Amino acid sequence: MPNLELKKNELQKLYPINTAINNKGHLVISGHDVTELVKSYGTPLYIIDETTFKYNANEYINALKKHYDNYLILYAGKSFACKRIFKIANAMGLGLDVVSGGELYTAIKAGFNLKNIYFHGNNKSEDEIQMAIKNDIGRIVCDNFYELELLQKNAKEANKVIDILIRLTPGIECHTHEYIKTGHLDSKFGFDLEYLDVVMKIIVNSKNLNLKGLHSHIGSQIFEIEPFVDSVEILLDQCKHIKDNYNIELSEIDIGGGIGISYTTEDDPISIDKWAQATTTRLKERCKTLGLNPPKLICEPGRSLIAPAGVTVYEVGSIKQVPNERKFISVDGGMADNPRPITYQAKYTAVVANKMNSKELEKVTIAGRYCETGDILIKDIELPKVTHGDLITVFSTGAYNYSMSSNYNLAPRAACVLVNNEKSEVIIERETYDDIISKHK
């Protein structure tokens, strides 16, 4: 069984901060027995620990405050977008990175500070751009020439000057999954550096576009500091080029997100404080060398804020022992509520929530209930011997689980519960069959 001895001064961990085992041998999160939460809310069940989310956000706030005095932390909404989490992020003074009209609409309905919203995406629709302009959000991050035309057209029609960032592809390779690399040259995102002058000529001739800064995002689940430092240097070099050639001194650089977390004990995440120190030190040094005023530093953590705060609980159903081979433990969820294993071959850590003190372990494979052979959540994990009705809890599922969930096989999406030491509350209701067919004709 995993060791639940937690050090609260470590940002990245396998479990929510307030994780324990009670005298019944049950898993407890923020004072709530997981088996009791299941009795109240059913399974599959997403559980988000509010304390862990806030603690992780404060790790970024405190680290940047320590090393630099001009920054903005944007919560990457795509990792887990819902009104309640947006409200918590807004109350903590975070900004928000959205990538769709749906995420922007949710932020508006949550009462988010519109001036702290940055709108990303490589193929924003005209309707989405109009929504952003109408609501006077903080920044629109321009990704390509087509979008540059749409921004100019719609800003002119609205008789507004809109603040934008230009997304650049810095050509940085990171040791991460091919599907979540975004900073290398062969990427669908951003302008290649060789097109910067073409972009700038369009912007300087526009009366409706106000360039505030540059953006890059080099990928996700990154365990190295140096790529972030390199990204800072590349963006500042382009800021210098723009200042020298167009007499515009940019006031922001956005280095994206991507800091990895621990999904298993094999993962070795970087220190947030060391990341902040390294990136801001290079920023200050490079600005001094280039004769630039130090810009506002913007970052966009999502996974590293919300993933460790979340767990998913499943109920065990069928059990199949293949002769002389593996043992399959089937649960009442799978690829529809967590598509990462089948998409990225992502790995996770799990426990049996109602048998935390059991010492008799066996190697099993946790299988999903969906009609795909590849619907496997975790291969070859050591767990206590399970029976029908036991509760499997998978850790670090706060990011890219609910947000990437689907109704595959017409299964209703799971409920999500927010817990803290005082209470538990449903922040996303469980879908019903009627919800699923409500748009069918």
Catalytic site residues?
371
Of 257, 298, 304, nearest in space to 53 by CA? 304
Distance, in Å, from the CA atom of 248 to the CA atom of 244, rounded to the nearest integer, reads: 8
Cα–Cα–Cα angle for 305, 401, 123, nearest 5°? 85
Q: Tell me the residue ranges of DSSP E strands in 325-419.
A: 327-331, 350-352, 361-367, 376-384, 391-395, 415-419
If one counts every other C-beta atom within 10 angstroms of the C-beta of residue 410, the result is: 9
CA distances from 291 to 246, 279, 286, 340, 403 (A): 15, 18, 8, 44, 43
Of 264, 365, 274, 367, nearest in space to 307 by CA? 264
Distance, in Å, from the CA atom of 289 to the CA atom of 133, rounded to the nearest integer, reads: 37
Cα–Cα–Cα angle for 77, 301, 123, nearest 5°? 50
Of 17, 11, 6, nearest in space to 276 by CA? 11
Distance, in Å, from the CA atom of 301 to the CA atom of 311, rounded to the nearest integer, reads: 19
In sequence order, what are the residues at sequence separation of 6 or more whose Cβ sits closer than 8 angstroms to the Cβ of residue 396? 14, 261, 262, 263, 307, 308, 310, 311, 348, 349
Of 133, 298, 150, 151, nearest in space to 215 by CA? 298
If one counts every other C-beta atom within 10 angstroms of the C-beta of residue 180, the result is: 16
- N residues, the chain: 441
Beta bridge partners, 118, equal 97, 139
Specify whether the backbone of 190 is left (phi greater than 0), alpha (psi in -120 to 50) or beta: left
Of 169, 194, 195, nearest in space to 183 by CA? 169
3-state secondary structure of 45: strand
Q: Which amino acid is at 380?
A: D
